[in-house]
Structure 1
Amino acid sequence: MIAPKIKEIINSKGASVIRKMFEEGILLKKEYGDDNVFDFSLGNPDLDPPKEVVDAILEVAKDTTHGCHGYMPNAGYPEARLAMAEKVSGEQTVKLEEKNIVMTVGAASALNCVFKSILSSGDEVIVPAPFFAEYRHYVANFGGKLVEVPTKADFSLDVQAIEKMLSLKTAAVLINTPNNPTGKIYSESDIEELAAALKKHGNSCGRMPYLICDEPYRAIVYDGAKVPPVFPKYENAVVVSSFAKDLSIPGERIGYIAVNPKCEDSDEFISACTFCLRTLGCVNAPAFFQKVVAKSWNAKVDYSSYARRRDLLMAILDKAGFEYCRPQGAFYLFVKVPSRWNDDDSAFCDYLKKFFILSAPGNGFGKKGYFRLAYCVSEKTIVNSEKAFIAAAK
Structure 2
Amino acid sequence: MAVAISIAEAMTQASWIRRMFERGTELKAKFGAENVFDLSLGNPFLEPPSQYFDVLRELSERRHEGLHRYMANAGFPAVRDAIAKKLNDNGTFPGLTGDGVIMSVGAGGGLNVALKTILNPGEEVIVLSPHFVEYEFYIRNHGGVPVPVETDENFDIDVETLARGITPKTKGIIVNSPNNPTGRLYPRASVAAMVSLVREREREYGHPIYVLADEPYRELVYVDDVPPSAASLHDNGLLIYSWSKSLSIPGERIGYIAINPRIDDPMVFSSGLTFSTRTLGFVNAPATSQLAVLRLLDVTIDIGWYKQRRDRFLEGLRQAGYDVVTPEGTFYIFPRCPIPDDVAFVNRAIEEKVLLVPGSGFGRKGYFRISYCVDDATTEGAIAALRRVVA
For the 8 Å contact 1:92–1:230, the answer to whether it is kept is no
SS state at 2:230 partner: coil
- 1:22 is matched with 21
Alpha-carbon distance in 1 for matches of 2:374, 2:265: 43
Per mean C-alpha deviation after superposition, the further-off stretch among 318-327 and 240-249 is 318-327
The 3 A distance-change label for structure 1 pair 337 and 306 is: same
The 3 A distance-change label for structure 1 pair 304 and 2 is: same
- 1:159 is matched with 159
Alpha-carbon distance in 2 for matches of 1:311, 1:266: 43
SS state at 2:28 partner: helix
Question: Could you tell me which amino acid in structure 1 is paired with residue 4 of structure 2?
Answer: A
1:41 aligns with 2:36: no
SS state at 1:92 partner: coil
1:63 aligns with 2:62: yes
For residues 214-252 of structure 1, give each alpha carbon's deviation from its aligned partner in whole angstroms, at most 9, with x where no partner exists. 000010111324142335521111000100011100000
1:376 aligns with 2:373: yes
Alpha-carbon distance in 2 for matches of 1:329, 1:270: 30
For residues 307-365 of structure 1, give each alpha carbon's deviation from its aligned partner in whole angstroms, at most 9, with x where no partner exists. 110111111111221111100000100011113xx2x2122212211111111111111
- Where in structure 1 do 4 or more consecutive aligned residues deviate above 6 Å? none
The 3 A distance-change label for structure 1 pair 37 and 227 is: farther
Alpha-carbon distance in 2 for matches of 1:332, 1:232: 25
For the 8 Å contact 2:212–2:231, the answer to whether it is kept is no
- 1:195 is matched with 195
Alpha-carbon distance in 2 for matches of 1:109, 1:212: 13
Question: Could you tell me which amino acid in structure 1 is paired with residue 220 of structure 2?
Answer: I
1:356 aligns with 2:353: yes
Alpha-carbon distance in 2 for matches of 1:91, 1:221: 18
For the 8 Å contact 2:213–2:231, the answer to whether it is kept is no
Per mean C-alpha deviation after superposition, the further-off stretch among 66-75 and 107-116 is 66-75
SS state at 1:146 partner: strand
Structure 2 residue runs without a partner (length 5+): none
Alpha-carbon distance in 1 for matches of 2:179, 2:232: 21
- 2:239 is matched with 239
Alpha-carbon distance in 2 for matches of 1:231, 1:180: 18
Alpha-carbon distance in 1 for matches of 2:188, 2:295: 31
For residues 253-312 of structure 1, give each alpha carbon's deviation from its aligned partner in whole angstroms, at most 9, with x where no partner exists. 001100001101322221111111111111110111011001112114321111110111
- 2:130 is matched with 130
Alpha-carbon distance in 2 for matches of 1:224, 1:379: 26
The 3 A distance-change label for structure 1 pair 246 and 77 is: same
For residues 135-176 of structure 1, give each alpha carbon's deviation from its aligned partner in whole angstroms, at most 9, with x where no partner exists. 010001111111111111111101121112212110001100
Q: How does 1:261-300 map to 2 (within 5 A)?
A: 261-300=261-300
SS state at 1:296 partner: coil
For the 8 Å contact 1:359–1:373, the answer to whether it is kept is yes
Q: Alpha-carbon deviation of 1:5? A: 0.9
- 2:310 is matched with 310
Alpha-carbon distance in 2 for matches of 1:326, 1:375: 13
- 1:347 is matched with 344
SS state at 1:385 partner: helix
Q: How does 1:182-221 map to 2 (within 5 A)?
A: 182-221=182-221
SS state at 2:212 partner: strand
Identity value in percent? 40
SS state at 2:309 partner: helix
Q: Alpha-carbon deviation of 1:95? A: 3.2
CA RMSD of aligned residues (A): 1.5
Alpha-carbon distance in 2 for matches of 1:287, 1:16: 32
Q: How does 1:89-100 map to 2 (within 5 A)?
A: 89=88, 90=90, 92=92, 94-100=94-100
For residues 345-394 of structure 1, give each alpha carbon's deviation from its aligned partner in whole angstroms, at most 9, with x where no partner exists. 12221221111111111111111111100001112211122321111112
- 1:174 is matched with 174
Question: Could you tell me which amino acid in structure 1 is paired with residue 205 of structure 2?
Answer: C
Per mean C-alpha deviation after superposition, the further-off stretch among 228-237 and 268-277 is 228-237
Structure 1 residue runs without a partner (length 5+): none
For the 8 Å contact 1:175–1:214, the answer to whether it is kept is yes
For residues 79-122 of structure 1, give each alpha carbon's deviation from its aligned partner in whole angstroms, at most 9, with x where no partner exists. 11112212333261523210000001000000000111111111
TM (norm. structure 1) is: 0.95
Alpha-carbon distance in 1 for matches of 2:191, 2:60: 42
Q: Alpha-carbon deviation of 1:34? A: 2.5
Question: Could you tell me which amino acid in structure 1 is paired with residue 237 of structure 2?
Answer: A
SS state at 2:239 partner: strand
- 2:6 is matched with 5
- 2:74 is matched with 75
Per mean C-alpha deviation after superposition, the further-off stretch among 17-26 and 178-187 is 17-26
SS state at 1:52 partner: helix
The 3 A distance-change label for structure 1 pair 284 and 322 is: same
For the 8 Å contact 2:122–2:143, the answer to whether it is kept is yes
Question: Could you tell me which amino acid in structure 1 is paired with residue 72 of structure 2?
Answer: P
Q: Alpha-carbon deviation of 1:30? A: 3.2
Question: Could you tell me which amino acid in structure 1 is paired with residue 256 of structure 2?
Answer: Y
Aligned residues between the structures: 389
SS state at 2:147 partner: strand
For the 8 Å contact 1:178–1:328, the answer to whether it is kept is yes
Question: Could you tell me which amino acid in structure 1 is paired with residue 157 of structure 2?
Answer: L
Alpha-carbon distance in 1 for matches of 2:64, 2:214: 36
Alpha-carbon distance in 1 for matches of 2:287, 2:232: 32
Alpha-carbon distance in 2 for matches of 1:289, 1:93: 24
- 1:229 is matched with 229
For the 8 Å contact 1:210–1:237, the answer to whether it is kept is yes
